[in-house]
Amino acid sequence: MSTPIARPDVRPANPNFSSGPCSKRPGWSLAGLSDAPLGRSHRAKPGKAKLAEAIELTRKVLQVPGDYRIGIVPASDTGAVEMAMWSLLGARGVDMLAWESFGSGWVTDVVKQLKLENARVLEAPYGALPDLTSVNFDNDVVFTWNGTTSGVRVPNADWIPSDRGGLTICDATSAAFAQHLDFAKLDVVTFSWQKVLGGEGAHGVLILSPRAVERLESYVPAWPLPKIFRLTKGGKLIEGIFRGETINTPSMLCVEDYLDAVKWADSLGGLNALTGRADKNLQVLGDWVDASSWVDFLAQDPATRSNTSVCLKVVDPEIVKLPDDQQAALSKALVAALDAEGIAYDIGAYRDAPSGLRVWTGATIESSDVKALTAWLDWAFQTEKARLLEAA
């Protein structure tokens, strides 16, 4: 049995490593939201101007093509994905790709709620991707770019053909602003403010290619659409949605918070700077994992490892031979110990995922905090391992 190591001297300055809602940007304060037009209608000039500014800054920082529409929609990323699926699917077959819980949720909606009989499901276990070469692009294709609950992402968009017949619908909520999205290969992109930029919840963003708009204007689904899903009227796109005339009432405080975050991102140098920060954070964790004998990435292929929602598994030889419930108990004990110390909050694996840890390393996280966290992870593991084996 190993001897518990000494408590580290250096603490993370910011213990917020949650995978959503995620950490605020460095230097954030409520004072930065003082220009929010609170108590005013979002349809008044100040509110409309703020919403339009949010859309245009999104286009600039994410490098969205000029002919793609960007809309702010209800119900976070979930609302944006549901809006896309309910409005666009059913015109042809659909390939559903799932390798973590949210992708599996989209499968459930398509198969059990929309009841599409021509749905084809391609699945992979946590830690892996489905066979991307087997995707049928004559169908529509629904997938997550970055699996938030598995730490597995697609390495690029090379597997998507330019001359595809169907639409590609991409849930990019934990990828946007930390990974380069190839918009030429994507017809629908969704994300939410509370991930990479650390904004507030409840608002989603829906990005549509010209091909997606053409589908919306030429196809009417067989099922009724709730008001908050309707993107067309009289067979034409409701253009106002993509100028900031939102379907329902947004929180102008949340809009101001998003503006604060995306302006910060722009001031750093935009997307390249943001991806660089997230990549550096992943590298810090990767160097630590390489030197560790007790932990490894859940993602099997280094090319598919997320640089935002990093999922880790315990591989210590003495632990992996224990029953699954004891292994899960150890992971929970690590999370509880670091929470109690104020070192790291909310880093447990997602409830549907294999037991382990999930550390957010997106662009609002400082690499110095990730480095400090690794020493505390070693401390917590050695401490809790000793307790577990002694009790056993």
Take residue 291 and report the two structure tokens written for it: 């030197």
**Tens of pLDDT along 267-284?**
999 999 999 999 999 999
> What is the DSSP track for 115-148?
--TTEEEEE--TT----GGG--TTSEEEEESEET
**pLDDT greater than 80 at residue 126:** yes
Q: Give the amino acid at 267.
A: S
Residue 388, exposed/middle/buried by CB under 10 A (0-12, 13-18, 19+)? Answer: middle
Quote the pLDDT of residue 2.
Answer: 54
What's the rounded mean pLDDT across residues 160-179?
98
Q: How confident is the model at residue 16 (pLDDT cuts 50, 70, 90)?
A: very high
* Domains of the chain: residue spans and CATH: 36-268 (3.40.640.10), 271-391 (3.90.1150.10)
- Report the alpha-carbon distance of residue 245 to residue 247 in Å, rounded: 7
Take residue 372 and report the two structure tokens written for it: 């400090």
What's the rounded mean pLDDT across residues 30-52?
97
What's the rounded mean pLDDT across residues 35-61?
98
pLDDT, mean over the chain = 97
**pLDDT greater than 90 at residue 1:** no
Q: How confident is the model at residue 5 (pLDDT cuts 50, 70, 90)?
A: confident
**Residue where the block lists tokens 């632990």:** 319
Q: Which residues contact 24 (CB under 8 A, 6 or more apart)?
A: 16, 198, 261, 364
Q: How confident is the model at residue 392 (pLDDT cuts 50, 70, 90)?
A: confident
Quote the pLDDT of residue 94.
Answer: 98
Quote the pLDDT of residue 4.
Answer: 64
**Tens of pLDDT along 335-372?**
999 999 999 999 999 999 999 999 999 999 999 999 99
- Report the alpha-carbon distance of residue 72 to residue 79 in Å, rounded: 10
What's the rounded mean pLDDT across residues 42-49?
97
